[in-house]
Structures are given as structure tokens and as C-alpha cells.
Structure 1
């Protein structure tokens, strides 16, 4: 989603260290950066403030990252979504338009993905 408004990032992972690393990666980028440790918490946050960009872990408490992304996209179809995982889900279950970011993912690749859905992306 590219707009003049500041972007809203939503990071979802049960590991607080991963969430902290994602926030640090974008510390110099304007916008809202929120973190959730479960899919349910992420869905609540997205209802309060629809995210421009979501990056979710595949393994989450409550539901997996793909199910979370499907639920988010049903409510906010323009949201750019990425799945951050150590194990590649079967290609037949990955919906179109979801970027898979295998852990460990180089920071510059993560940052490029996160910025690609904002007006902060390099032209």
C-alpha cells in the first residue's frame, strides 16, 4: 500500500528477540511499528489500526502465520504480507502475493520487503 500517510508496520512472532530485531531494522523509518506475540493479538491490533505491511512468523500460538495472513487480507486486502519462517510451507498452500522470507533472512532483504509497501521505498 503506498499512500502519503505514514506507514503502519505489524510484526507478529512469539519470540520477543525477533520482534525487537524487526523494530530496530526500521528505527529510522517514520511510521507506526507494532508487535504482537500471537495471531489473536495481531488481529485485534489490525482492527484498531490497519497495517500497511505485516510480517508474521509461520509458527504462532493459536493459528499459523498463513492463517493469520489470510484473516488479515480478508479484512485489509491492500496490506503487504510476508511470512518469516525457518521451514518452507508446501508451495501448494502458499496463497499468491505472500512473500516468503526464510530465516535467517539478510537484514537488507527484510528491510527492502518492509519498505516495498510504503512511500519510503527507494524509487
Structure 2
């Protein structure tokens, strides 16, 4: 007497992809996600160019350099749990916009930071 939700005509992956198509939205989505990935990669790679100047400006020790280099990665580890849980409850679009806004603001602040602790905190939130 129950409802039968199982359909006997199962569609394989190739036919499902062929039936749904690949349109302008998918190209736009691929472009936006590529730009976001590029932003993340630049945020990590830029530290190798900034580190020699920052060593002189902030009079950093080897330990400070290690913490500065590790802070974006630590931010990614902690931020993935935070943003992931938030995306599950609030939705991906709003969380993606919020995380990019945090990344942009922290990137601007880190570019004018005068103190090592502020620079490292901003780098942490760049990874966050």
C-alpha cells in the first residue's frame, strides 16, 4: 500500500550528464570558482615574496618566520570547519561571499600592518 519511489529505469552517469547539459551557468560557475582558487593560491604564494622584506621591517626571528608562514595554513584548517558548518546551515552562496569579504578585508589590513602580531593575525584570517 506504500508509495514506490524506486524507478526501474535507472539512468547511468553519461546519459544523465548528456540529458542535463552544460550551459552558460556552468561556465560562469567554473570561472568564478577558478578565480576564487586563484585568489587563495596567490594569498599563499605571495608570502614567499613578502617574507624577506617583512623580516627586516618586523625584525623577525626564525621562529617568527615559521609562525608567519604557517598561519595561513592554520587558518585554513580551522576556517574549513567554521565555514563548512556555517555553509551547511546558512547556504553556500552567502558563506562564500562572507568568506571572500573577510579575506579581502584582512588582505587590505595586512598590506598596511605596522606590527608583526597584526600582520600574522591578518595572514591567519587570509587563510581562514
| TM-score higher than 0.5 | no
TM-score for both structures, normalised by structure 1: 0.28
Between Structure 1 and Structure 2, whose CA radius of gyration is higher? 2
More helix by share: 2
TM-score for both structures, normalised by structure 2: 0.27
